Amino acid sequence: MASPSVAVRRQVERLRDALIAEGDPKQAKALASILDNAEGVQEMAPSRLTISKTSLPGETLSPNTQVPVDRETSTPLAEIIFPRQINDQAPLFGPAITAAIKSLLEEWRDLEALARYDVAPPKTCLIYGAPGTGKTRLATWIAGQLDLPLVVARLDSLVSSFLGTSSRNIGTLFSFANRYRCVLLLDEFDSLAKLRDDPQEVGEIKRVVNALLQNLDSRKDVGLTIGITNHPQLLDSAVWRRFEIQLEVPRPDLAIRQDLTRQFMAPIDAPAAHQRLLAWLTEGATGAEIEALVRTYKRSLAFGGPEKIDLLDVFRHFATLHSGRISDEKKALVFGNQGELLLALHEAQDGKFSTAELAEITGRDKSTVSRQLAAAREKD
Ligand SMILES: Nc1ncnc2c1ncn2[C@@H]1O[C@H](COP(=O)(O)OP(=O)(O)OP(=O)(O)O)[C@@H](O)[C@H]1O
Ligand SMILES: [Mg+2]
């Protein structure tokens, strides 16, 4: 694999896929990492689209490319993620965001058509929203869809530990990104804001912000730059203005929570009633929290088997171990009287749960559930 021919590489890829299909993920992973480290990865990656080399100039990044490091500590200033390492599955957002991202991708896919009209697609994009709402995943996915490597700069490591050398590091990082065809990701912008709260760092933060402004300007015509932050209000307004696109990622609503639950459940095909209940109970939660809940669900399946599972027990268990992640209202419901809970679900405004569904959820039969519902109604 030191310098594999196309045929050799294809064979190894086929072997890797066969191992995955036969349930030997460990060996498959070993092969995948050999493939990743081999030369010629970029050319080999199945082209999800081809941004032609003339419309996006620059050298091609390969796994052998030296990543710039901090001069004092030798810590890498960025991590590179290649398109083949990126999950193809699209993150899930509401229709407005999905459409906006789709149009951004379409513009990037046809740079030449835009060039004929002497326009360019937006090249700077700021994504902001609560932690765990899928911002990093979205940025990574965009790079994958554009078939470009992602150069991930962690601003926290770039700034915090190297006071005094941050501006130089920022310059080094940008020249690296400008030299290659890639998407530059500035994740966790907030780390700059943290610096600002420290009165001793006033000079430093000024230098860093200036370095960022200059470099963002110089990158304007080169390639796509994505910035991510949890605290947009703390961003310097001059930095904020530099971004052509400012995309707020909200917490998922009920419909998206259901889609997320389904996506995270794979390969398990959980009963629809279970998925619906998980989505219903996670009001106000983020994608990351739903992912954690689904993991708990899968663990209890692994131990209990599908016929023994009481979804409400699973949920109580999760809510106890992750008390900050579930709304107080839903917690009060699931830890309260079981009959009242069933009645609340049966009469829920945003999607009623039928007796059959409640039976599926509690692992009891329908007549038991009907009795519990009747008793709860009587108490009302
Ligand atoms: N809308 C979504 N679609 C798909 N997956 C999601 C979504 N939101 C969150 N996730 C999942 O939650 C996890 C965390 O997502 P991610 O790291 O992108 O969040 P983030 O917004 O960058 O959070 P932070 O601000 O803490 O860095 C990932 O495993 C991701 O798959
Ligand atoms: Mg993130």
- 85-106 residue pLDDT tens: 998 889 999 989 998 999 899 8
52 or 278, higher pLDDT: 278
What is the average per-residue pLDDT within 361-379?
91
Res. 8 pLDDT band, cuts 50 70 90: confident
For the segment 226-274, what is each residue's pLDDT rounded down to a tens digit? 999 988 887 778 888 889 999 999 999 999 999 999 999 988 888 888 9
130 has pLDDT over 70: yes
Q: Is 246 helix (H, G, I), strand (E, B) or coil?
A: strand
| Per-residue pLDDT at 82 | 95
What is the average per-residue pLDDT within 184-195?
77
CB-ligand 1 contact for 131 (6 Å cutoff): yes
For the segment 102-127, what is each residue's pLDDT rounded down to a tens digit? 989 988 888 888 888 888 889 999 99
DSSP 8-state symbol, 268: -
Cα–ligand 1 centroid distance for 125 (angstroms): 17
The preferred substitution site among 86, 126, 133 for testing ligand 1, maximizing ligand atoms within 8 Å of CB, is 133
Task: Give, using CA atoms, the residue closest to atom 30 of ligand 1.
Answer: 134
| Per-residue pLDDT at 13 | 85
229 or 220, higher pLDDT: 229
- Determine contact, residues 376/295, Cβ cutoff 8 Å: no
Please state, for a pLDDT cut of 90, what percent of the chain lies above it: 39
- Determine contact, residues 166/194, Cβ cutoff 8 Å: no
308 has pLDDT over 80: no
CB-ligand 1 contact for 257 (6 Å cutoff): no
Measured CA to CA in angstroms, residue 304 lies from 299, 301, 363 at distances of 9, 5, 12
Domain covering 47-249, topology:
Rossmann fold (3.40.50)
Name the residue ranges covered by the structural domains of the chain: 1-38, 47-249, 254-379
What is the average per-residue pLDDT within 279-304?
90
Tell me the ligand closest to 266's alpha carbon.
1
What is the average per-residue pLDDT within 336-342?
90
Cα–ligand 1 centroid distance for 279 (angstroms): 16
Res. 131 pLDDT band, cuts 50 70 90: very high
Tell me the ligand closest to 287's alpha carbon.
1
| Per-residue pLDDT at 46 | 40
Lowest mean pLDDT among 146-155, 167-176, 303-312: 303-312
Cα–ligand 2 centroid distance for 246 (angstroms): 16
**7 CA to centre of own chain:** 34
Q: Both tokens of residue 269? A: 């095909």
Task: Give, using CA atoms, the residue closest to atom 29 of ligand 1.
Answer: 288
156 has pLDDT over 80: no
175 has pLDDT over 60: yes
Task: Give, using CA atoms, the residue closest to atom 1 of ligand 1.
Answer: 92
Contacts (Cβ under 8 Å, ≥6 apart) of 97: 247, 249
42 has pLDDT over 60: no
- Determine contact, residues 160/89, Cβ cutoff 8 Å: no
CB-ligand 1 contact for 181 (6 Å cutoff): no
What is the average per-residue pLDDT within 116-140?
93
Task: Give, using CA atoms, the residue closest to atom 5 of ligand 1.
Answer: 91
Lowest mean pLDDT among 129-133, 192-196, 248-252, 332-336: 192-196
**How high is the mean pLDDT of the chain?**
85
| Per-residue pLDDT at 166 | 80
| Per-residue pLDDT at 54 | 58
Task: Give, using CA atoms, the residue closest to atom 23 of ligand 1.
Answer: 132
- Determine contact, residues 35/41, Cβ cutoff 8 Å: yes
What is the average per-residue pLDDT within 160-188?
85
Lowest mean pLDDT among 20-34, 45-59, 238-252, 265-279: 45-59
What is the average per-residue pLDDT within 66-91?
89
DSSP string across 177-228 = HHHBS-EEEEE-THHHHHHHT-GGGHHHHHHHHHHHHHHHHHHTTTS-EEEE
What is the average per-residue pLDDT within 177-183?
94
Give the integer Cα–Cα distance in Å for 60 and 40.
10
164 or 351, higher pLDDT: 351
The preferred substitution site among 137, 264, 293 for testing ligand 1, maximizing ligand atoms within 8 Å of CB, is 137
CB-ligand 1 contact for 156 (6 Å cutoff): no
